[in-house]
A and B are shown apart, each in its own frame.
Chain A
Amino acid sequence: MSAVPALAWAGAAALLAGAIAAALRPRAGLALQAVGAALLGAAGAAVALGAPAVGAGFRSDLSPALGIDGLGGVFLALIAAVAAPACAAAADLLPAGRRGAAVAALTGAFVLALAAVVAARDALTLLAAWELMTLVPAIAILVARSDAAARRTIFVYLAITHIAGVGAWVALLALAEVGALGGAPLDGAAGFAVALAALVGFGAKAGLVPLHAWLPRAHPIAPAHLSALMSGAMVAVALYGLIRVLFQWTEPAPVAVAALALAGLASALGGALQAAVARELKTLLAFSTIENVGVAAVALAAALALRAAGDDGAAALALAAALLALLGHALAKGLLFLCSGAIAASAGTLALDGLGGLARRLPWTGGAFAVGALTLAAVPPLAGFVAEWATLQALLRAAGSGSPWLGLAVSAAVVTLAATAGLALLAFVKAIGLTLLGEPRSAGAATAREAPAAIRAAVGGLAVAAVALALASGPLIGALASLGPSGAPDVGLGLGLPDSGGLPVPALALWLVAATAVLAWLAARGGRAAPAPAWACGQPADPRLAWTAGGFAKLLTLTAAVALRPRRELLVETGRDGTVVGVEHRSTEARLLDGALYAPVLGAALAAAGRARRLQSGSLRAYLGYLLALVAALLAAVRIGALG
């Protein structure tokens, strides 16, 4: 009897108790929730790192069962890594009063639902937890804010995730019907259909293009700690479902793998592009989430392709790259969303053009923010780069192993991911610059105060964890590679991969820190003149001439006009005597798929509904006519023997 089940049950019980207690005493309840999440995460991490699996195995009958295996353990640890700091920080982020208490209680329920999806071992429990995971944050957002815009956004969120969510139901119930849960994987045409259904159902929840439209709308309006959970943990749990179906329960056909790869590439590139031109911090982070999910999806597709080609070692590397990408994303995105909550509370705005100079006013929160942003900007030696590196390594192996035409497709994927990394760099340099550096750009930013201790501890802990993830990525990627559900052998992968130059993260970090320190010391010995304003052609710096979010990305907007469709408006206000009293410039970028895909679908749906409504004329005679027609049709069917 190991301690893992006890840990897990204690964690779940603490979460439940915390959720109930939070309704009365939010602060104590949230603290209890943080402890519960941490316990659950410890149980998950223990199993992920080699302790034997606990609880039931997967089963196709519908009696409820719970259990943790290696893959589930990784995701439990991931959920806890976001949830524990999010709950700890939530007490200071939520408003006092009944609304805050209700959101605090729902937070605990949300974390429990996330954990239940990962721990479920039968189709019904999984689907029930899945629906709760969708609905609870929607309720929490509506409790937190009840304006019309929020209601409309939640409608879009529920509409997309529920219409597409049918795919998850179809996939899981079909798999349970044929006994593939815990049995032999489903292949052939049925396996193909189930894989496609899962791709739609889980992909929509993960925010994969083209079913992503809800994500950049819903994540920004949620309370910060819920944004952190939704963006860091929920989309990862959605990909968890996809991994189970595609790796364990079906043998997906090449077309399904290609669809996953295409959706992933479109998400990565499109998400990064929109993040680079975003003008609001949480919107930027939400689009970056789409990008990160896309990169993970590409790695998963590479793993499937490599497994089909028989290269199990490289397939395990690709799966590990996807998991590492999700872990890094969860830590950094959770961190940044919590920081955004602290910044919104302190500076009163999240518009990038209204922040600035916060590194001096919020040194702790700002420092953690910088670590998270640089992680997601994919610069070495941080975790984002390590995941990107491992993904590219796996892709290059796929290029070398398969047919030459597969090589062409993979080369296109490599080029796309490289462009994505460049765009992410632009997006997060912009985010750091406009948020932390330079002069404050609004009165709120100029008077911002450092966040309370609980938030500082939460984001500081996440920053340390993000750095530790990068430093430990060598051994970790080996552990992750060994737990593929395909039963891939432990291939002893570190970052000294064969057929690569290796990525010695600790040595690299040491080199960068040491060389930078020595050179900085040498430079500092040269002395520094008295402080003077930055150069602006000898004139005093005019705040109105400061660079803006739109301005910094302007060149990108112009060169990527095909995808962004920039539009500018110039409003010139003239006084009564014809003199110009004010000029306002506004420019917007289109979200391409919103116009090209969703608008026609929405229009067609509304038109069809309008036509269908004509049946409901309200006239008694028409309804009697329908009844007569139905009876006649049934009689005719009986006559020709169609009803047996």
Chain B
Amino acid sequence: MSATIAAAAVVQLAGAVALAPLIPGAVRAVERRLQGLRGPSPLQPYRELRRLWRRSGVAPVPRTAVYAVAPPLAAAATLAAALLVPVGAVAPDWGLGGDALLLVGLLALGRAALALAAWDTGSGFALMGAARDLAFAPYLEALLLAVVAIAAVGAGTTDLGEIAAATAERPLLSAPEQWLAALAFALVAVAESGRRPYDNPDTHLELTMIHEGPLLEYAGRELALLQWTAAVRQWVAIVLGVALFAPVGGPWAGRVAALAGLVAVAVVALAVSETAQAKMRLLRVPRWVGAGVAVCAVAVVLRAIGGAP
């Protein structure tokens, strides 16, 4: 068992640190292919990170220590979040616990760090993105917590590892409320990872950007950290979805293979949905999230009628 846990720890670290940039790269490559374009290689994000790592940072005026602390803090919080999520229904103990609510808090901490950095330089574009990010955060956090609450009450715990283990024992998506919660989670996952129709990761146009906004004042290694953090957020969103709704039991090699397969499915699904939809109007986001909350409410009512399993 301890070998499994060690292997899970390796998968967590490898996924978060090394493989995460592959997700935006792969999504972009598949997306371009679907659109009949050749597109960049899936490895393009790594090349960009390497290029940025060699460059020096910038020093906007005005700024305080907040400017320099924000990217590392956002990265540290997001990495901690990645270490909370079990892989293959196994949760290694990093000493941070494994609580679902803490994960939501850590994502909020990353958001706060970037918004404060935007205020620090006072750059108009950075603040535009930060203002949008924070204005939608209440809606998205409400939806995310609704999904987490459904999963947690179903499993009788908020420990992500135990939720995954309990869900892995049951047949895949056996209860209707799980289907509905998974649907709602898909909305949050798209938004948290900054993807269309919520956000457009490929643009620096002030009309459309949300997550990219606060990044505008950064360059060099700090920008590399922030881009890597954005990739880790996408990894966390996908792996969290797998852990909550589709963990696979059985032998360890099968679990890892299933995880890899599900991540690949998620990448293709993201690419298809990005190809099919345009970015939505900003003011429609709350309604979009509201639809997710309504779906969650239906899920809870269904359980109320059907009785807890």
Contacts and interface: CB of A to CB of B under 8 A. Distances in A.
Contacts of A425: 108, 111-112, 134, 137
A556 B221 CA distance: 33
A551 B124 CA distance: 11
A408 interface: yes
B14 interface: no
B95 interface: yes
Contact of B112 (A359, A374, A559): A374
Contact of A419 (B142, B158, B159, B221): B142
A528 B72 contact: no
Contact of B55 (A357, A526, A534): A526
A429 B116 contact: yes
B116 A535 contact: no
Interface of A: 357, 359-360, 374, 377-380, 385, 389, 392-393, 396, 399-400, 404-405, 407-408, 411, 414-423, 425-426, 429-430, 432-434, 436-439, 496, 499-504, 507-508, 511-512, 515-520, 522-536, 541, 545-547, 551-556, 558-559
A407 B112 contact: no
B160 interface: yes
23 contacts: A379-B105, A379-B109, A380-B102, A380-B105, A399-B153, A414-B145, A421-B138, A422-B138, A422-B139, A425-B134, A426-B135, A429-B115, A432-B119, A433-B115, A501-B84, A508-B102, A519-B76, A526-B57, A528-B56, A529-B58, A531-B60, A534-B62, A534-B217
A532 B80 contact: no
Contacts of A426: 134-135, 137-138
Interface in B34-91: 53, 55-62, 64, 66, 68-69, 71-73, 75-77, 79-80, 84
Contacts, number: 287
Contact of B72 (A392, A496, A519, A546): A519
A501 B69 contact: no
Nearest to A428: B112
Contacts of A516: 69, 72-73, 75-76
Contacts of B115: 429, 433
Interface in B113-134: 115-116, 118-127, 130-132, 134
B246 to A, nearest CB: 20
A546 B115 CA distance: 15
A455 B69 CA distance: 27
B101 interface: yes
Nearest to B140: A422
Nearest to A406: B304
Max count, chain B CB within 10 A of own CB: residue among A396, A423, A503: A396
A525 B56 CA distance: 9
Contacts of A520: 68-69, 72
Nearest to A434: B119
A240 to B, nearest CB: 27
A470 B72 CA distance: 22
Nearest to B105: A380
A532 B61 contact: yes
B30 interface: no
A529 B57 contact: yes
A421 B107 CA distance: 12
B231 interface: no
B209 to A, nearest CB: 13
A426 B217 CA distance: 21
Nearest to A360: B64
B139 to A, nearest CB: 7
Closest 9 pairs between A and B when the two form their complex, measured CB to CB: A433-B119, A501-B99, A422-B138, A404-B304, A519-B72, A515-B76, A502-B97, A438-B122, A418-B145
Instruction: Determine the main DSSP class of A at the interface with B.
Output: helix
B225 A523 contact: yes
Nearest to A551: B131
Given A421-B108, A523-B71, A404 B119 contact: no
Contacts of B104: 418
Given A502-B159, A553-B131, 15 more contacts: A379-B112, A415-B149, A418-B144, A419-B142, A422-B137, A425-B108, A429-B130, A499-B156, A515-B76, A516-B75, A516-B76, A528-B58, A545-B124, A553-B135, A555-B136
A471 B262 CA distance: 38
A512 B145 contact: no
Contacts of B55: 526
Contact of B80 (A360, A399, A512): A512
A331 B223 CA distance: 36
B57 A408 contact: no
B230 to A, nearest CB: 15
A532 B60 contact: yes
A508 B80 contact: yes
Max count, chain A CB within 10 A of own CB: residue among B64, B72, B301: B72
Given A393-B101, A556-B135, A559-B283, A528 B57 contact: yes
Max count, chain A CB within 10 A of own CB: residue among B62, B225, B304: B62
B127 to A, nearest CB: 5
A156 B256 CA distance: 65
Given A389-B105, A529-B57, A407 B303 contact: yes
A411 B298 CA distance: 12
Contacts of B160: 501
Nearest to A389: B101
Contacts of B134: 422, 425-426, 429-430, 552
A357 B221 CA distance: 26
Contact of A535 (B56, B95, B123, B222): B123
Nearest to B97: A502
